[in-house]
Every structure is written in structure tokens, then in C-alpha cells.
Structure 1
Amino acid sequence: MKKAGLIASALLILVFLGAYGFYLSSAADKPSEQAAATKQNEANNAAIVNGKAITMSDYQAEIDRLHRQISMTGRKPDEKEMHALDQRMLDELIGRELLKQETVKRGIKTDDAEVNAQLDAVKKGTTPENFANSLKQMNMTEPQFKDYFASRLAIKKLLDKDLGSKIVVTPEEVKAFYDGNPDVFKTPEMVRASHILVKVDEAAPGEEKAKALEKIKAIQKRIKSGEDFAEVAKEVSDCPSKDKGGDLDFFPKGTMVPPFEKAAFAMKPGETSDIVETEFGYHIIRLTDKKEAGTMSFDEVKPRIEQQVRAEKMSQEYHKYVEALKSKAKIEIFVKQ
């Protein structure tokens, strides 16, 4: 079984663009009124971009999400690094607001079909429970998440239109990346295994554990008598992998809990383990395949490298694009830098 840990979907970790309020000012205001308005802006807003406010509450919500995301990785940045990350978050929000304004100015829109397709793709990549938990951790509702996709898709259309033609990746660049990063393409020894689990908590009473052990022994007899491993797994296993006949696909060392890993890596393809006890319960493991450590060939990874190089170039052009928008914008920042 895989080590317990929270894995957030890369798309769910992206920050939601809130609906910002408007800041209206008048040159005819009296000095005292202007001063009061300035103080109010400083208190209520993190920044104002071309008259559109990024509220302090929206900014703080993004900071809170960022801090939660960092804590989930196990990292503990010092105060100086956290301050720099907070500043970068505000800069990112300003850039997004400028891009959003540009899509409106240029009349670039998305339709419900596009947005729903993106949302469905995210849902298919996880379970309903994990999707709901991720939204909860990000303090987002599904309608907000849908709005986020609509905004992101419009921005993507803008960037594809204005920057897409500038991004050219040559075969020489792809080969140079491969040759210059040999460690990136090394693969560790991996095995593929299927298993049957009888779940029981390691802190369960002795009687409960004995009952589970008897159950796995009965299952073991069925396997030894020649019954199909996958069919038995589908029938009796307590692991979600039962839907795939117990198949866990390929995994390297360090992925599974130690007793499971030790048993799996000690076998040859086609062999079946004795009963293995872990913190999850009792397992019977069948090794179905093994891959030795090696290096992926250039042809195998060429498409991935092209995407990587293209993404790096797009990132560079993106920052130039946003800086150009900033140079023409009126931006007021009220957060202490």
C-alpha cells in the first residue's frame, strides 16, 4: 500500500481569481476627503489596478491558501522567504488582473462547453471525495472553481494568440536538453504487483486481528488451489485496487510501506508472496513484472522535452508580456513591501 499523504491535484493547487470590487475616485474631492479615501483604500485594498481593486480580504485568502499549500509539502520557509513569497503572490494577482482586463478589452471569451470540459477532466483525474476535500482545503466552492477555469481559459486564449507564434522549439534545442540533463532521464528499478488486502487496524484487538488473519488464510488457499488472482481480488480485497484486479501498476522503492516493498522486490515475476502484514492489514502479493534501473531513450522522452522547452520559453515571454501591461497600467499598491 502507498504511504499515507495528501496529494493535491496540480490544477486544484492553482489560486482562484476572486471577483474584485471597484474603486472610484474624483479629482474634485476635497483634500480631507481624498486623504480619508486614501486611508480607506490602504485599509481595505491590497492594490488597485486600473481602477479595479484587489481587496485585502482576497489577497489574505490567497496568502492563506499559499501557506497551506507550502505546509502540505512539509517545507518550513523562514520569515524572510515567506515575506518574499507573499510579495510574489501580490505581484501574481496584479498580473492576473491585468491579463483578465486585457481579455475583456479584446473581447476574448469562453463558453460553458469549454469550461465544463476542463472541469470534467479534473474530476476524472481524481475521486469525488478527493475533489471535494481539495476544494474544501482551498476554501473554494465548485461554482468558484468553474469561474476560475473560465477566467484561465480566456487568459490562455489571449496568450496563445499573442505569444504562441513567438515560441519555436528546434530539434537542436531538444537534443541539447536531453544531453545536458542525463540524471533527469534515469529510471530506478521498478516492479509491478497486484495484491489482495484484508484490512485491519494494527491497533485492533487481538480477536479482530485473528479473525482477519483467518480470512486472509482462506483466501490464500483459494489462490494456491489455482483460482484466478485478479478475480479473487475483485471479490474479496478491501483495497480500492480491487476494481483493477488488485493491480497497483509499476512503483519504485520508497513508494510502499516497508514490509510490502520488501516482499514485492524480493520476488520474481509470476511469484506470489506468503501473507504479509503491514499497518493496513494482511496482504497477499503477486509480482507481475519488473523493470531494471536504466535511462530512458531520447525517442521515448522527445515529446516531453519539447513540451518542457516550450513551457520555459512561454514562461519567459509571459513575464515580458505582463511587464509590458504593467508599464501601461496605473497600479497602486497598499501592502507594505
Structure 2
Amino acid sequence: MPDDGAGEAAAPDAGVQAPVTPGAASDAGTPAPAITPPEEDQFTDRILAIVEEDVITQRELVERMNLVAQQMSEQGQQPPDQNTLARQVMEQLVTERVQLQEARRIGINIDEMTLNRAMESIARENRLTLPQLRQALMQDGVDFEAFREQIRTELTINQLRSRQVDRQVRVSDQEIDDLIASESGAIDRDVRYRLSHILVAVPQDASSSEIREAREKAEELRRRVREGEDFAVVATEASDGPAAMEGGDLGWREPAELPALLARQAILMRSGAVSDVLRSPQGFHIIRLEDREGGDQTTVQQTEVRHILISPDQVRSEEEAERQIRSLYNRLQEGDDFGDLARGNSDDPGSAAQGGRLGWISPGELVPGFEQAMNQLPPGEISEPVQSEFGWHIIEVLDRREVDTTREQIRARAREVLQNRKREDEMELWLRRLREGAYVEYRVDELAS
């Protein structure tokens, strides 16, 4: 599903400690000034900082410091000295407030049902019931309601970051190909390939016209085998490669036994597939992957699906988004065309231009709520409105198929690596812009009074 409507927000920390890390956002803006935490008998609920229309109090700072210190100790980490911890936690609180205000501005709201599901998930991951989780937190001196609200905060910020940051992360096919090529030895270490090969040789001192003629010949040979001519016959007739008399059959080879150009291409091919024309110093190559053995091969069920997305935003409230999606659902029931409604109304611009089509989707590519509803639909049926963190969807399953997704899984892993790298950079830039654009006034000098 495209970044504009289907990225998945990160889950909150599953431990019973509040999911906070000192200094996590310290580079997002001007750091907090030095802070000397008060002694216990000096404790008051004074305002330490103003963040836009919100405030951070001394009580909040001390409670969060205690929580962070406890979490670090339970994880076997030594908390920093109190002054350093106070400065880091203060900056974390400021950055957190700025993000929460941005989330409210664009209409993100974590309802009670979503929060309850998250709490139940945390309890399950700790092999506890929800009452047992409450008891465990109380025994650790953690207020359950404060912990619950911290989880709401985490969910809100995760959803905000998914909308505002993940949509900016773009990974090109060329970047994926380059990463796979650079790591091909590790990816296909335990795999053997059987390839057939055609080479149209180019002399070292070939002129530009000779190179052009060789490429045209290779393209014509590729066209012939793609249109059904026997690869072995074409190779025997026209290949300049060493295996021409064997119909181009290179036999079973490990990746290290193949030229790097061919090995990198074979990683991403399905059995029976014919490559594009590949260029090397020797000339132009065409390969067909006859078979592969070893390694991880995966067959999964893919779903061809389309959807209509209506998202809440600055103008449209959550309730208005729901009313609009239900109105569209009623129109579909009355016979309106799905593609026309998607093109005219969907807030997912990538799929809207295609009549709502997302193409063939493998398991795990979509947010859980969307995927669960999709999996329950037989081909040809339309769902009732379904809610995800991106808004309200109407889903139609067009078809299903079983496919060998070994190639797609390799590309998906490479894409995930690249996305994570880019997401970190984009997150840092986004946080810095958000933090620098916010009004923050520190009043920490009051602590000394």
C-alpha cells in the first residue's frame, strides 16, 4: 500500500516500564538549560517551561525522572547524574509536548478502544492479564493511570510520525537493486542456480556503431525467446558464449562460480524468467533462470485489492470522516462505480489515480486493521467502512493467487533496510523543524528560589 495511506505506526514499548529514553530527542532543538532538581522537601508544582499553550511542571519533571531512572536500573543501565538526567528529561518532555500539539492540530486522537487494545497487548506480551499488569506496576511504584496515559502519548506520537515522516520516505527500485547487488554474496550464500546464457560479444576496440548493432542484435534475440522460441536453439544459433554448443546451458553453479553481473541478476529472477539485456565489458548478455535450489523459497497468497480512504485532517473531524465514508459506502450499495468514487474522493492519491487499486499485496504489507478486514473478504465483495490509523477505508478484494515470493521477499528486506535508514534521517530533520518552530520558554531559575 502506498506511503500516503497505509504505512504502519510503530508499536509502543511492550515492557511494563513506561517507554521513555533519556536524551532521545535532545538534538531536535535548543537543549534545555542546566537544571538542579529540588530536594524532596522543596518539592512544589511550579511551572518550569511553557511550550506553546501548554506547560511543564516541576512535578511532571520529577515523576518522569524517577520513572526513567527506574527503567534504566531495571535494564541494567546506570542512570546519569541528577543534573544531566533532569536536562535530558526536560528536553524530552518539551519535544513530546510539541509533537502532541501537532497531533491535535491535524486531528489525531487515540480513542479509548484503541488504548485498551494496546494495554491488553502489553499485558499479553508480559504474560499477564490486565489486572496483573496493574498490580505489577503498583508493586514497582508506577501509577497505572499515569502509565496508561503515557501509552496514549506514545500511540499518538507514533501515529503522527507515521503520517508526517513515513510519507516523506521514498526508496527507488534502483536503490534496492544497488543494495542487493552490494550484498549478493550474503543473500544467496546457500543457493545454487541453473542458468542458460546467450552472449553477443563486443570487441574491446569496437566503434559506437558496432556497439549499437550488438545491442540491437541482443534485443532481437531476447524478443525471440520471450515470444516463445526455444532458448537452447537460439543460443546454439547465435550466442558467442562458451556454452553455445550446449544450448547456452551453464549447468548448476553457486553464485561465486558465476560472473558477478549474472549472479546479481539471478537473485531477483523467478524460475523460467528471461532477463533484460545486460551489458558488460565482454558484450551483451541474456540469461534465463532454469531453476534454483537451496536457500529460503517462500510461497504466499497475494491479494489484489483496491480501496477508498477518507482521512480526518485540520478541516475534517473524525466524525465527519466517518459520515463521508458511510455515504460513499451507501452509494456503492446503490450501484455507483468503485473506481469512479475512488478517483473522485479517496485521500490516498497514489491509488486514487488508479481507481483505488493497490495492486497485488503480500501478507504484512498493510496496516493490521486493513489487512484483517481484507483477508475476510472473498473476491468480488466490498467491506463495510473499516478504520485504521490513517482514517476510514472501503475495501474491495478483486482476486487472489499463490505466488513464489522469494524474489519479492529479498526486495522487501532490502526496501525495509533502506527505509529504516532514510526514516532516521527524515525523523531527525522533521523533529528539528517542529522543535525550532515551537515557542518554548524555560523558567528553571524558579527551582533555585
TM-score normalised by structure 2 residue count: 0.35
* Structure (1 or 2) with the greater helix fraction: 1
TM-score normalised by structure 1 residue count: 0.45
Which has more radius of gyration? 2
